Structure 1
Amino acid sequence: MQIAGVENRLLLICYGLAASLVVYYGLLWRQSIVETLWWFHLGVCIGIPSVHRLLETRQNEHQRMMPRTASPRQAEALFVGLVSGVPLFAASLAGISLIFASGVDPAHIRATLGRWGLAPEWVGLFGLYLIVVNSFLEEFLWRGFLLKRLTTWGRRQAILLNSLFFALYHLLIAAALFGQQWGWPIAGAVFLAGVFWSLLKLEYGKLYVPWLSHLTTDIALTVALVNWIY
């Protein structure tokens, strides 16, 4: 089955919005981190790319997968992925520190996470899951699957649209945890991070480059979660 151009674009938009719908359903309506992770990671991050590839013709898929030659810049790509995460790690911790300094109560965040089902004894395991699994599956969906298909609209449009979808569900999470006054600034920061990681993926062609960079921000979130909230 071949997907026509207009149908394909509508599908891509639906895919981009699916993450926000799942987060809204899982966290804000069902109040469950477990359900949210289940539907987001299995249903959206893994399910959408898998189903979409079944809808594509083998010829189109072959054309997409052709540029898989080994890059002589692999060492540089690995270095950039690791080193670019350092300022992101520092910026993430500084931003969270600023939020708490503005008067946001960590006890409120802890209570909200508790309502969502995150017990104190599971915080460490949750943080590890966030760092390794969540960061990879997000990159797999946004920079691995969706970005390269959005490039049919143009490189700039693909980066901006992909980053917008990426930031949208983070807006829902940030507003619920830190309040409306911090929801938009955090979403803006996530949008900029999405632009940066998209550029890394397009520049080096390797998913591990933005993933390594992304991973460090989730390490910062886990450090804040363990030391400042719980």
Structure 2
Amino acid sequence: MNLILLLFGPTLMLFIGLQVAGSVPVAFLLFYSWLLFIPLQECLRQKAGRRQALLAAVGLVPKRRNLLFGLGSGVLFLLAIVAAGFFFHASLFERDELLRLLERWQFSGSHAVWLIGILMFVNPLLEELYWRGYLHQKLARKRNPHIVVLVTAFFYSLYHLLSVIPLFAWPYNAAMVLPVFLAGVVWGYMRHRDGSLLGSMLSHILADIGIMMVYLLFLAE
């Protein structure tokens, strides 16, 4: 598939879901279908004997150092996110306006429970599989791995603009993309250094749990 489409595809899916359909469930369906089926179709095209090698190439192999670093960085991310929410939530969010937006996007009521579960556990696994797994190994075949880390982090953070800008108060909404990019660099570096994706998945899960904790502690009614 065309590389430009692979890089911009997730952003396009979220744009259609959030900005065109105005629905978080629709955005999730489009976005996660893309993240899952693009790598899956390439795996299914491989002969049975090569699939194991492909899984190793995308980083689905356990490495002790990688898992320990993932656990440590994830705990730090979680604590930093919750601390920022605790000390700055009054400045970061315009609560009533944000709740109205989430309700308009159908992130409320009975929908919210399973959407929160998806954000905490499905989202980090599929995002890491796509960016630090599938695209990292695809780009690293012919490019400097350090450039690959930066490129995947940039396009990973790009689509967060679609959610971050409406959700946070100005000027924090623009600044919020920077920690997303830096987290992508950390996870990309872990993937490059250790050849494993599992540590970045663990770290990403803990970071997303921190984000949902902020929502549940300071925003949910």
Question: Above 0.5 in TM-score?
Answer: yes
User: Deviation of residue 107 (structure 1)?
Assistant: 1.9
Partner of residue 69 from structure 2, selected from 55, 80, 84: 80
Is 1:35 matched up with 2:35? no
Letter in 1 for 2:11: S
Matched residues in 1 for 2:54 and 2:117: separation? Answer: 33
For 1:128-169, what per-residue CA distance to the aligned partner results, in whole angstroms no more than 9, with x for missing partners? 221111110111111110111112221121011100100000
Change (3 A) 1:191 1:228: same
Residue 94 of structure 1 deviates from its aligned partner by: 3.0
Aligned to 1:22: 13
1:203 and 1:190, CA in 2 relative to 1: closer, same or farther beyond 3 A?
same
Q: Is the 8 A contact 2:58 2:136 kept in 1?
A: no
The answer as to whether partners of 2:60 and 2:198 remain within 8 angstroms in 1 is no
What fraction of aligned residue pairs are identical, expressed as a percent? 26
Amino acid corresponding to residue 119 of structure 2 in structure 1: L
- TM normalised by structure 2 equals 0.86
| Distance change in 2, residues 1:205/1:101 (3 Å) | same
> Which amino acid is the alignment partner of residue 151 of structure 2?
L
1:124 touches 1:226 (CA, 8 Å); kept in 2? no
**What SS does structure 1 have at the residue aligned with 2:176?**
helix
Give, in whole Å, the separation in 1 of the partners of 2:53 and 2:94.
52
Q: Is the 8 A contact 1:82 1:213 kept in 2?
A: yes
Name the stretch that deviates more: 148-157 or 130-139: 148-157
- Do the aligned partners of residues 184 and 150 (structure 1) sit closer, same or farther apart at CA in structure 2, a change above 3 Å counting? farther
| SS of the residue 2:120 aligns to | helix
Residue segments in structure 1 that go unaligned for 5+ positions in a row:
1-7
After superposition, what is the alpha-carbon deviation per residue over 1:88-123, rounded to whole angstroms, capped at 9, x for unaligned? 112222333455232632222111111011223343
Q: Please, what TM-score do these two structures have when normalized by structure 1?
A: 0.83
State how far apart, in whole Å, the 2-side matches of 1:121 and 1:21 are.
27
In 2: Cα distance, 1:101 partner to 1:15 partner: 38
The match for 1:161 among 138, 142, 151 is 151
Corresponding residue SS for 1:153: coil
Determine if contact 2:13/2:31 at 8 Å carries over to the other structure: yes
**2:98 aligned residue:** 109
* The one of 178, 185, 188 aligned to 1:195: 185
Aligned length: 219
Q: Please tell me the root mean square deviation across aligned C-alpha atoms, in Å.
A: 2.9
C-alpha deviation, 1:207, in angstroms:
1.5
Deviates more, 1:92-101 or 1:180-189: 92-101
For structure 2, the residue ranges without an aligned partner over 5 or more in a row are: none
For 2:121, the equivalent position in structure 1 comes to 132
Q: Which moved more, 1:211-220 or 1:121-130?
A: 121-130
SS of the counterpart of 2:102? Answer: helix
* Structure 2 counterpart of 1:16, one-letter code: L
**What residue identity is the alignment partner of 1:94?**
A
Report what 1:177 is aligned to. 167
1:32-75 CA-to-partner distances (Å, cap 9, x unmatched) read: 11111111111x1012223445778999989766769998x833
Q: Distance in 2 between matches of 1:76 and 1:139?
A: 18
Provide the rounded CA distance (Å) in 2 between the counterparts of 1:13 and 1:69: 23
Please say which of residues 85-94 and 50-59 is displaced more in the overlay. Answer: 50-59
Residues 157, 180 of structure 2: 8 Å contact kept: yes
